[in-house]
Structure 1
Amino acid sequence: MNTSLSMKSSPSVLIRRKRAIWAMLEGMAYLLPSLILFSIFLFYPMLRTLYLSFYATDHQGNPVQFVGIENFVYLLKDANFLQSAKATLLFVCYTVPASVILALCLALMANEKLKGIGLFRTFFSSTMGMSVAASSVIWMFIYNPSIGIINKVLSLFGISDVQWLLDPNIALISVAISTIWMNTGFTFLVLLGGLQNLDSSLYESARIAGVGYWYQLHKVTLPLLSPTLFFVTTVLLIHSFQTFGQIDMLTKGGPMDATNVIVYSIYRDAFINYNFGSASAQAVLLFFAVLVVTVLQFKFAERKVHYQ
């Protein structure tokens, strides 16, 4: 009896397995174009970079001699690379918190139901539609010692011209300010979208209970907005580690390597000095640094995120 039942049920089992296999193959067929693009433009360059980091290369980037971890040991002892790492960390510390706080304040103002607020939302998000090159040119004129608007305003108060991009002490801060301005549009739009998706009934209950604005902000808005804040912080953190365009346009890594962040150092070693082995080693170190920071952020910062 059991044998006959198993014989009857086995064809249906085989049919289900075939359907599952066909469904998997169909899904892989849909994913195939994306996998090909990722393999060409992401996976292969990553593996190639890791491979070259263990070699000394010629001027065309071809490996000529296996050196093992010598490139990494040299970088960790090189004063220029350590200066680039310091500049990168300072740049991240300058830009990420300030970008999030500024965009959050603007989003809270733009979320108010006031007449003409849509015009301000357009102004606040306008930087999102500008390229890094165009934005950098604007800030290059703003920081110009002779015709820049900032120095013109300072001269009204009797303050002499400031060399914003030529002074090693303030050049990195100057580039960070321009980067904060560039990041505002994207961060503002994401946070404003998060605010507009919050449950309005919670605010109605808070108003009925006589709770003030700042208490609502601390106990209702920020906890409910924490997933969005976590997202934009993570994106800005990774983006800040990879900053290149404004550095290249505004300072070229100077003055005195004060703004020579790791990404620009990689570019200079690879495409100016043609030292592809060292540049690849720097890229690998940057990758693991970003990976460690991101993992730590997910491990510790995500604990304070309140998912609805």
Structure 2
Amino acid sequence: MLKTTTPEIEEIKTKTKKKHYSFSLNAKDKYYALLFLGPSLLILSVFVFYPMLKTLYISMFLTNTLGKTTVFNGFNNYTQLLSSPEYITSMISTLIYVLSVTVLTVSIGLLLANLASQKLAGIGVFRTLYSITMGVSVSVAAIFWLFIFNPSTGFFAIISNYLHLPVMNWLTDPKMAMWAVIITTVWMNLGFTFLILLGSISSVPTTLYEAASVEGASNRRQFFKITIPMISPTLFFVSTITLIDSFKSFGLIDLITKGGPTNSTNMLVYRIYKDAFYSGNYGQASSEAIILTIIIAFFTFLQFKFLEKRVNY
């Protein structure tokens, strides 16, 4: 039996020992790094970091109608908001709106993208129709849907009269107004969601579907066992972006309902706008902005904590 001597073992250890490389920037490299990063850091500092710090600062004060701080108020603005029934109602309405918009947008967008990925005659026309909302501005979309929701001459009113059904007051009934805003927002977001998901589904290897067909898997099973897992990173991305954008929805609410009726669609973002520019209460509006930022960060954290585990990279 051969025995390895101690010097041989030491030689093998020396040869196989991992080398550690140290990385350091010299003065010239640091200069170039700052040169390239400088413009971005400057823009972020002026338009992101400074407004955030300024908002946090103002939220600790009472202000006059011009937004100038007057009296230090500490956390009283926050405690007053969180104990206000109106603010809690706005928060609940916002959560209902955000969750509904996110689920409906991603679900319908996924369904349409899966249908549009089929190789059928004239499918390009449907792809164009599904994605056309990306070229529609918020103001045009609001005018379009205001005509549809009109209780006298709107599309839904005509259908209801034709079927001899009671006409729904979409914009005057609090519950229906919420659904009117949700439907409009989902319609606006579908174009982007559809295109992103269609591109992801188109990149799934066709060999997987061919192998599944040979095994006798139905289209429904292929959709849940192949399509969903393969595009899960894109689904995670789309759901996160849609959730964050829904929290920041403003234009459609301002043009369609203006937060009414009876504050049923007075979402947190629209409430910030009204408190700041209508009431001149900039301290309270700044506190609302900070709370909204925390809420968005919390829900984003939950998505990364629980949904990312189901993503297959």
Residue 120 of structure 1 and its aligned partner are, at CA, apart by 0.7
* Cα pair 2:131 2:192 within 8 Å, conserved: yes
Q: 1:189 aligns with which of 195, 198, 216?
A: 195
Q: 2:180 aligns with which of 168, 174, 179?
A: 174
* Cα pair 1:99 1:187 within 8 Å, conserved: yes
Residue 92 of structure 1 and its aligned partner are, at CA, apart by 1.0
Corresponding position of 2:31: 25
Corresponding position of 2:75: 69
Deviates more, 1:263-272 or 1:164-173: 164-173
Gaps of 5+ in 2: 1-20
Corresponding position of 1:10: none
* Cα pair 1:145 1:162 within 8 Å, conserved: yes
* Cα pair 1:172 1:258 within 8 Å, conserved: yes
Q: 1:260 aligns with which of 266, 291, 305?
A: 266
The CA distance in 1 between the partners of 2:276 and 2:112, in whole Å, is 40
Corresponding position of 1:133: 139
The CA distance in 2 between the partners of 1:27 and 1:216, in whole Å, is 48
- Partner AA of 1:79 in structure 2: P
Corresponding position of 2:104: 98
Alignment of 1:58 onto 2:64:
yes
Residue 35 of structure 1 and its aligned partner are, at CA, apart by 1.4
Corresponding position of 1:240: 246
Runs of 4+ displaced beyond 6 Å: none
Percentage of matched positions with identical amino acids: 43
1:65 alignment partner, SS class: strand
2:175 alignment partner, SS class: coil
The CA distance in 2 between the partners of 1:61 and 1:138, in whole Å, is 36
Residue 204 of structure 1 and its aligned partner are, at CA, apart by 2.0
Q: TM-score, normalised by structure 2?
A: 0.91
Write the mapping of 1:141-160 to structure 2, written as runs, cut at 5 A.
Answer: 141-160=147-166
The CA distance in 2 between the partners of 1:234 and 1:170, in whole Å, is 26
The CA distance in 2 between the partners of 1:37 and 1:216, in whole Å, is 47
* Cα pair 1:262 1:286 within 8 Å, conserved: yes
- Partner AA of 2:146 in structure 1: M
Corresponding position of 1:203: 209
- Partner AA of 1:261 in structure 2: M
The CA distance in 2 between the partners of 1:251 and 1:148, in whole Å, is 16
2:174 alignment partner, SS class: coil
Residue 38 of structure 1 and its aligned partner are, at CA, apart by 1.2
Corresponding position of 2:89: 83
The CA distance in 2 between the partners of 1:282 and 1:46, in whole Å, is 13
Residue 154 of structure 1 and its aligned partner are, at CA, apart by 1.0
Q: TM-score, normalised by structure 1?
A: 0.92
Gaps of 5+ in 1: 1-12
Q: 2:295 aligns with which of 284, 289, 295?
A: 289
Residue 17 of structure 1 and its aligned partner are, at CA, apart by 5.2
Residues 26 and 169 from structure 1, CA distance in 2 versus in 1: closer, same or farther, beyond 3 angstroms?
A: same
1:289 alignment partner, SS class: helix
Corresponding pairs, count? 292
1:170 alignment partner, SS class: helix
- Partner AA of 2:118 in structure 1: E
